[in-house]
Amino acid sequence: MFECIVAPFSENICIEDLNRPGITEQMMSDNGDSLNSPPDIKPHLNCGQDDTSEDNSNAGEYTSPGSVKSETSPGKGRGRRAKDDKSCRVCGDKALGYNFNAVTCESCKAFFRRNALKDQTTKCLFQGNCFIDIRTRRFCPHCRLKKCFDIGMRKEMILDDNERKMRMAKVMHNRQKRKESVESLTTLIKTEPMDQEPDQSCQYATSTSGHCINFPSPEGMIDITSTVVTPAIDIDALDIDKKLCRVLSKREAELCEHLTNGYAATMANYHCENLTSESYTDSNDLVNTSEQAVRRLIQFVKLMEDFKELSQEDQITALKSCVLQSLMLRSVYFFDVEQEGWRTLTGLIPAKVLKDITGYSDLYETHTNFSREMKKTCKEDITVFAIIQSIIVFNPESVGLKNLQLVSDIQNRYIVLLKSYLEYKISFEYAQIYFPVFLRKIQELKKIGSDHAKIILQVQTSKIEPLMLEILNLS
């Protein structure tokens, strides 16, 4: 349609215009049709109706210079009109492209827009053939406008009142939608109440004296760029009782407790949701069934004082950027190592649904391996989950963060907290060995989280819940 348009030129065109390369090219390639049937198209204003597409396909179809309709060289540009000469055909000023059907500068474009629809009241003070160039263009509006028409500018392409209103309405509508989109997540962050009391039956590390954490052997420390997941070993192999352990400071202990309680609360009863294998038929389901988890993630971050330190904009950026990793982390908590699936109240969702519904067997393998090893490593120590969750929320690599330094500082505090917690939990000696391994696990989580982005590519946005659309940047 419009991309095939060649600029028709007026019969009044002057000799010097004909000498310009662009014009010659047009004449050479133009078969005359465009002159006989000047198009009547207003691009970009479909107004959502099926309008005149047929008419346009004939009358409005110009051919691109040097090409015949669809025979434009494939993959090369868009077959648009030639505009090799980047100078305004009215005044010779620098032009960026076509305006109202002719290559013109910004000022002639604006001039034409302002004047073309007016009744020609201004008269030329001379003979009506003033020379128009970049210096003289302001002197005689009459001749300037005349030249605009002469070189083929078309007043039909200026939107009329009604069309302008419709265009503005569309812009406002989109603005509103964008605003609402930001607002809904913002509102959620600001106001979403806890829909559940913390589940006191939940067991977590700080309330137990046992060693809940499994740590990978040093041999397990591998290159995280590979898809192999760091294996875990049994914590019982560590002789912690004879080792020196850290005593957490009051502040550290309180923070751990706060995080643990908060994370536990947002995990509680999660498996109550009646999800079964049948809940999943495609990637859309996979995404939509994660909505509750996302809401709980939001609940968790809202509990963190550090999160409140971020600007609203950075809060949203941070949330959006950690959402896949967070979902992964949460799924690890519910992963059943023996049965290779996720526990729910109504049974078990086998991990292979990932393969079945996405078609990605590699994704399934990596996910399962990671979940197994991570679960064997962390077991159900919610404190570890909570600290890791905090570390991934405050990720300074999140694209678009405004206050990167703040996020980085906060993340560092949680990394230090993880180290302290490990020193408290498994002794200084073992922590020194295994803390880096834990950081590797977090790196793996990041990588696997981003690998899962390919599931997102499969979804049909029309079938995805609004919150998920928004947080996954699909809206």
Using CB under 7 A, list all residues that contact DNA: 1-3, 42-46, 48, 78-81, 83, 93, 97-101, 105-111, 113-115, 137-138, 141, 157-159, 164, 167-168, 170-171, 173-175
CB 104 → DNA: shortest distance, Å?
Answer: 9
Given the complex with DNA, which of 163 and 309 has the nearer CB atom? 163
CA-closest candidate to residue 31, choices 3, 8, 57:
8
CA-closest candidate to residue 100, choices 159, 174, 143:
159
Are 140 and 98 in contact, with CB atoms under 8 Å apart?
Answer: no
CB 64 → DNA: shortest distance, Å?
Answer: 11
CB 417 → DNA: shortest distance, Å?
Answer: 35
- Name the token pair of 39: 């198009």
Given the complex with DNA, which of 97 and 218 has the nearer CB atom? 97
CB 172 → DNA: shortest distance, Å?
Answer: 8
CB 468 → DNA: shortest distance, Å?
Answer: 19
- Distance between CA 100 and CA 105 in Å, rounded? 11
Given the complex with DNA, which of 133 and 195 has the nearer CB atom? 133
Given the complex with DNA, which of 2 and 149 has the nearer CB atom? 2
CB 323 → DNA: shortest distance, Å?
Answer: 18
CA 199, 200, 206, 208: dihedral to nearest 10 degrees? -120
CB 48 → DNA: shortest distance, Å?
Answer: 7
Given the complex with DNA, which of 2 and 428 has the nearer CB atom? 2
Given the complex with DNA, which of 108 and 259 has the nearer CB atom? 108
Given the complex with DNA, which of 64 and 377 has the nearer CB atom? 64
CB 138 → DNA: shortest distance, Å?
Answer: 5
Given the complex with DNA, which of 52 and 339 has the nearer CB atom? 52
CB 145 → DNA: shortest distance, Å?
Answer: 9
Given the complex with DNA, which of 42 and 413 has the nearer CB atom? 42
- Name the token pair of 154: 């078309």
Provide Rg for the chain, Cα atoms.
Answer: 33
CB 143 → DNA: shortest distance, Å?
Answer: 11
Given the complex with DNA, which of 32 and 75 has the nearer CB atom? 75
Q: Which amino acid is at 296?
A: R
